[in-house]
């Protein structure tokens, strides 16, 4: 302890002295120091904004998925893949997988209806009209009455159609917010009013809650009608997607309900033991996993590219530190002639470079946070500062400071005192 005490005291004193000299140098060249920081500031701010945008996109995608798909529902269809599929994979599935038809849905309801809710999902694009007004390219969605529970469809005005209306092929519909504002611009309640789809009159019995857009598609430009009414208008088709969900109140998970459905369909479609399912399934977790994978790929490409600006900032710091060493050649010679050691000179230059980089990093984080908050408020975006990207930015800027300061510091420490004292 007696030997380590003085050694530590001398090292601490040397560090304080080097830090003080570095700060004096930064303060004496304020404009140059600020211009040197710009590269690091912009680089760090870019990393913060890109990180916030990626995480915000993830939140947006998850929220949109929950609204459009439902948080506890699953889907069964002939083809229901999330990722990119080659033409060969697609045609293999078309050849192997069986389409889901009305008799298959009734079979599942008869077998598992006491445990699982099922609803067909069929859609068609058409114009919805009222008098001389038209909501073009509206999605006409045919479902059963249970879909309101399966996908947690919120109805803010009126109600969803009942099982009795579904069985009786009633021409009733629940319209989206865009359809309502387009066809009822005066703010009047649309309930009980008539709209026309393909010339067929439908009575509006409900208005769905506003969902907004998801991946560029307006989710509010839709009208839900009974599947039986959809069948009357467009025919049975070649197959449809089938949504399912465990009945509320039962001790069944989403996976339990999906397993019951898979077992029943494998038996109905005569899938042999050990063979793949001859139908496709899709769950919210699979969609979220695909989105996370996609965002991970984006982050793996975009974040390193953004960090290049930090490298550029480091090159600027290195150049400025080399200029600083040249300017202080005589000062370094005086210090070395008075007993300053190799490590003392190197520490002074290195600290100055690291302080510049860390100051730039801190200012970049503040600038990035400010821009993220402003963009979030102006455009109502789900943006948030991610601690991981803040740590990454500060760490990278610090490393950049050390690397960019090392060569100038080493060069300064190796100066011959006699030669340095002769410098003008």
pLDDT in tens, 242-290: 999 999 999 999 999 999 999 999 999 999 998 999 999 999 888 888 8
Nearest Cα to Cα of residue 266 among 90, 98, 74: 98
User: What local confidence, expressed as pLDDT, does residue 1 receive?
Assistant: 44
| Residues 369, 375, 377, 380, CA torsion sign | negative
What end-to-end distance do the CA atoms of the chain give, in Å? 46
User: What local confidence, expressed as pLDDT, does residue 337 receive?
Assistant: 80
> Cα–Cα distances in Å, from 404 out to 148, 258, 343, 410?
61, 57, 17, 11
User: What local confidence, expressed as pLDDT, does residue 347 receive?
Assistant: 86
Place of tokens 């026309």: 196
Pairs from 384-389 (Cβ < 8 Å, separation ≥ 24) = 384/52, 384/55, 384/56, 384/59, 385/48, 385/52, 386/51, 386/52, 386/55, 388/51, 389/47, 389/48, 389/50, 389/51, 389/52, 389/303
Which residues neighbour 59 within 8 Å (Cβ) at sequence distance 6 or greater? 382, 384
User: What local confidence, expressed as pLDDT, does residue 36 receive?
Assistant: 85
Which pLDDT tens digit goes with each residue over 288-309? 888 888 888 888 888 888 878 8
Report residue 207 as tokens: 């208005």
User: What local confidence, expressed as pLDDT, does residue 403 receive?
Assistant: 85
Which positions of the chain have pLDDT values less than 70?
A: 1-8, 10, 82-84, 215, 420-424
| Residues 186, 191, 194, 197, CA torsion sign | positive
User: What local confidence, expressed as pLDDT, does residue 423 receive?
Assistant: 63
* CB count in 10 Å sphere of residue 39: 22
């Amino acid at each position: 302890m007696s030997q380590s005490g003085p050694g530590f005291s001398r090292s601490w004193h040397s560090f304080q002295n080097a830090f003080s000299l570095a700060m004096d140098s930064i303060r004496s060249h304020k404009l140059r120091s600020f211009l040197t920081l710009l590269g690091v500031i912009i680089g760090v701010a870019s990393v913060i904004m890109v990180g916030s945008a990626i995480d915000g996109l993830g939140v947006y995608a998850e929220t949109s998925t929950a609204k459009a798909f439902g948080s506890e529902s699953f889907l069964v269809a002939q083809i229901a893949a999330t990722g990119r599929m080659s033409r060969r994979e697609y045609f293999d599935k078309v050849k192997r997988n069986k389409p889901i038809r009305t008799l298959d849905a009734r079979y599942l309801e008869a077998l598992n209806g006491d445990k699982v809710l099922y609803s067909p999902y069929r859609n068609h694009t058409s114009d919805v009209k009222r008098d001389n007004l038209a909501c073009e390219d509206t999605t006409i969605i045919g479902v059963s009455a249970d879909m309101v529970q399966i996908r947690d469809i919120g109805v803010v005005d009126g109600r969803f159609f009942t099982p009795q209306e579904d069985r009786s092929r009633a021409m009733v519909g629940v319209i989206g917010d865009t359809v309502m504002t387009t066809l009822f611009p005066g703010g009047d309640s649309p309930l009980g009013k008539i709209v026309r789809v393909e010339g067929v009159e439908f009575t509006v019995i409900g208005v769905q809650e506003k969902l907004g857009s998801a991946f560029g598609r307006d989710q509010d430009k839709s009208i839900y009608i009974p599947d039986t009414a959809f069948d009357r208008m467009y025919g049975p088709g070649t197959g449809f997607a089938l949504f399912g969900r465990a009945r509320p109140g039962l001790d069944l998970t989403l996976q339990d309900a999906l397993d019951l459905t898979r077992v029943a369909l494998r038996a109905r479609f005569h899938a042999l033991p050990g063979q793949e399912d001859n139908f496709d399934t899709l769950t919210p977790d699979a969609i979220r996993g695909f989105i996370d994978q996609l965002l991970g790929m984006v982050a793996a490409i975009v974040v390193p590219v953004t960090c290049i600006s930090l490298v550029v900032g480091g090159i600027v710091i290195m150049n400025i530190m080399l200029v600083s060493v040249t300017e202080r050649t005589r000062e370094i010679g005086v210090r070395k002639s008075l007993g300053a050691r190799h490590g003392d000179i190197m520490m002074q230059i290195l600290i100055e470079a690291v302080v510049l980089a860390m100051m730039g990093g801190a200012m970049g984080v503040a600038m990035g946070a400010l821009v993220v908050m402003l963009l979030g408020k102006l455009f109502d975006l789900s943006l948030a500062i991610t601690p991981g990207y803040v740590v990454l930015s500060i760490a990278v800027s610090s490393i950049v400071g050390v690397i960019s300061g090392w060569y100038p510091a080493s060069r300064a420490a190796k100066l011959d005192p006699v030669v340095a004292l002769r410098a003008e």
